[in-house]
Chains A and B, each alone.
Chain A
Amino acid sequence: MDKRLFLSGNEAVAIAAKDAGVSLGVGYPGTPSTEILENFAEFGGRAQWAPNEKVALEVAIGAAFCKSRVISTMKHVGLNVAADPLYTVAYSGTPGGLVCVVADDPGMASSQNEQDTRRHAVAAGVPVLEPSDSQEAYDFTIKAIELAEKFNTLVILRVTTRICHSKCIVERAEKVSTEPVKEFIKDIKNRVMIPAYARMAHRKMRQRLADIQAINEESDFNKIIKGANDELGIICSGISYVHCRDAAPEANILKIGLTYPLPIEKMRKFAESVKRCVVVEEGDPHLYEACKVNNINVEGKDEMYRFGELDVNRVKRILAKDTTPEEPPKPGKPPQLCVGCPHRISYEILRDLDCIVSGDIGCYTLGVLPPFQAIDAVVCMGASIGMGLGMRASLPESDARRVVSVIGDSTFMHTGLNGITEMVYNRPETGHLVIILDNATTAMTGLQEHPGTGRKLDYTTANKIKIEDSVKGLGVDHCDVVDPLKDKDGLKALIEKRLASNDLSVIVVRRPCILALAKDKKMAEKNA
């Protein structure tokens, strides 16, 4: 086995999962987390895309109830979708090694918000590990599984864009051998969360956290770097740690790896051992607020550093209490829909028809930029349909008739089906039009398969869910399939016709993404 490797954080998590004997990886794509499962599959692991994060976590929970080692991967906003199972599996616990790998995106390199997953962990009551480089991404993945098994709890491994996509040197540990699951073991009180059992489970969960906090006071998840003198101490976690080492080589550092539940007494002792103690963390003031609640005397960062990523220079500014305005980043060339992208045609039409477009998330969100500017609202995956229905319900008839919901095929499988259900159930007086941009892939996150492509994560054949069958089954009045390249004028005329009617209509605009076609060609050559 090659011991010294050069790996991205995502690769490190994937190899660690393989080395730790994880039997199943399940998730939904989302930058910057996507490559974890793809890499896990490349290293020989069993990896699956679920239709969305909630289902992914539920599959993982089922496996963990059978005592498997299992990881579920997603980006930060994916955890919102999976929040419902998360908050209750936090009570029930599982006997398996259940780790939820969640990738935050401070700075929003490729996301719609910069929420901090540590907040979810506190609210749900599950432990969080935060690696600060690929080596720790590797080590902490294994430790997270062990911690999960030891305390019967789901553990969150919180990574960030920089951890996921930076490469560092990693030393690999010895592989562990795990035993296959032999049989189902009944344990109703710890698996069935009816109120009577959930009340007990809630108390157990709080006790579990207290126990983990106690071991965290002494655990090797956290480490202290001795400084040159006792002038300055820094409490930090995650990527901030490596920035601090560069920004303040003379400082004492308490680097926290297990950031919930926190080693409060260790933090107190550290803060008392230095003349000035500053908390340096990216995102929300999670460590800082814990210090304040516990009367630990520390300084935090100015509010201006809550936004965006930290880097060495920003850490220097935080330490110097510098709040002068920062140089705004120079704008590079923004991303654009590829030349030849089939989405372009749809947006040209929607722009020319002056539609009110309730949009969704994917490559096609780029239709908001010139030369189209043809999207009027985007919030989260799947929201295009519900928001469009809300607009239809509120606007005067002339404007209500201009409202169109536009959603991609992967997004439709993710949470669009629920929107169609709502549309059929609470039918607007003016009807509604949903356009599904079916480019036969999840393009935005790098061309992943989904339930509508007919292929699994590893490119093997799967059952294919047909969009037109599913919406017809739910009861829409019309579902047409149009190739935008072959019949642009026909597509435009059809949209006008549907908008003029009071019907519930779906138009599937079907044409593969040009990059997906190129990938298909490459895979065909490879498999030939």
Chain B
Amino acid sequence: MDNKVVNVTFAGLGGQGVLKVSDILADAAFLAGLDVKKSEVHGMSQRGGSVCSEVRYGAEVFSPMVPTGSSDFLVVLEETQVVVNDHKLAPTGVLLTVNDIDMDKLSNKKSMNVALLGFLSSYLDIPEECWTKALKNNLPEKIQEVNFEAFKYGASLKK
């Protein structure tokens, strides 16, 4: 792996599982043996305000915050949050949004966040077993099966 740090920004509203998916990505990168940092502003998210979480991984990561305009991927779970965050995207960055997901394909709509994460995974160079383990580590057993399905569905979307 070269020295390039991969920058991913997740955005949405409180309660949508923004922090959960950023936890899973960070854990997957961690399990892959990479250096990784994750940063977010939270505290009042329980009241439905904007939430944003950033993950950076690579051989060596310094700042935990993705510099504005350098996100390689911007993953947005709620439509109104696209304009609030699009300046964070690098000129060559990829925007993935809730609109990429066909909600009818999900057996539980709450797993939309994980479906988007699956979609993101198809762009990233992280081994599958790390994703599987990270999903297991971060989700309660009861809802793992639905989320594995959602993740797989998301991963199949790449054009």
- A residues with a Cβ closer than 8 A to B are 6, 31-32, 109-110, 133, 161-162, 165-169, 239, 242-243, 245-246, 311-313, 327, 330-338, 363, 366, 444-446, 515
Contact = CB atoms under 8 A, between A and B. Distances in A.
Given A243-B63, A312-B65, A313-B67, A334 B49 contact: yes
Given A6-B26, A166-B37, A333-B50, A312 B84 contact: no
A260 B13 CA distance: 40
A169 B41 CA distance: 19
Nearest to B86: A330
A169 B84 contact: no
Interface string B58-91: 0001111101110000000000110111010000
Contacts of B50: 332-334
A330 B83 contact: yes
Given A311-B63, A335-B47, A167 B68 contact: no
Given A6-B27, A6-B36, A331 B49 contact: no
Given A332-B84, A333-B49, A6 B62 contact: no
Tell me whether chain B's interface is mostly helix, strand or loop, or mixed: mixed
A406 B13 CA distance: 29
B37 to A, nearest CB: 5
A335 B44 contact: yes
Interface of B: 13-14, 26-27, 30, 35-50, 52, 61-65, 67-69, 80-81, 83-85, 87
Nearest to A444: B44
A335 B13 CA distance: 10
Tell me whether chain A's interface is mostly helix, strand or loop, or mixed: loop
Contacts of B45: 335
Nearest to B51: A332
Given A133-B64, A246-B63, A246-B67, A165 B40 contact: yes
Contacts of A169: 30, 35-36
Given A6-B30, A333-B81, A335-B14, 14 more contacts: A6-B27, A162-B64, A168-B37, A168-B64, A169-B36, A245-B63, A246-B67, A311-B63, A312-B67, A313-B67, A330-B87, A332-B49, A333-B48, A333-B84
30 contacts: A6-B36, A109-B43, A133-B37, A133-B64, A165-B39, A166-B37, A166-B64, A166-B65, A168-B36, A168-B37, A168-B38, A168-B61, A239-B63, A243-B62, A243-B65, A245-B62, A313-B69, A330-B84, A330-B87, A332-B49, A333-B81, A334-B49, A334-B50, A335-B14, A335-B44, A335-B45, A335-B49, A336-B49, A444-B44, A445-B43
A331 B49 CA distance: 11
B43 A110 contact: yes
Nearest to A309: B65
A16 to B, nearest CB: 19
Contacts of B37: 133, 166-168
Nearest to B40: A165
A335 B48 contact: yes
Nearest to B55: A167
Contacts of B69: 313
A110 B44 contact: yes
A242 B35 contact: no
Interface centre among B27, B38, B67, B85 (most CB of A within 10 A): B67
B36 A313 contact: no
A311 B44 contact: no
B35 A167 contact: no
A205 B68 CA distance: 45
B107 to A, nearest CB: 24
A332 B18 CA distance: 15
Contacts of A335: 14, 44-45, 47-49
A524 B148 CA distance: 29
A9 to B, nearest CB: 10
B9 to A, nearest CB: 13
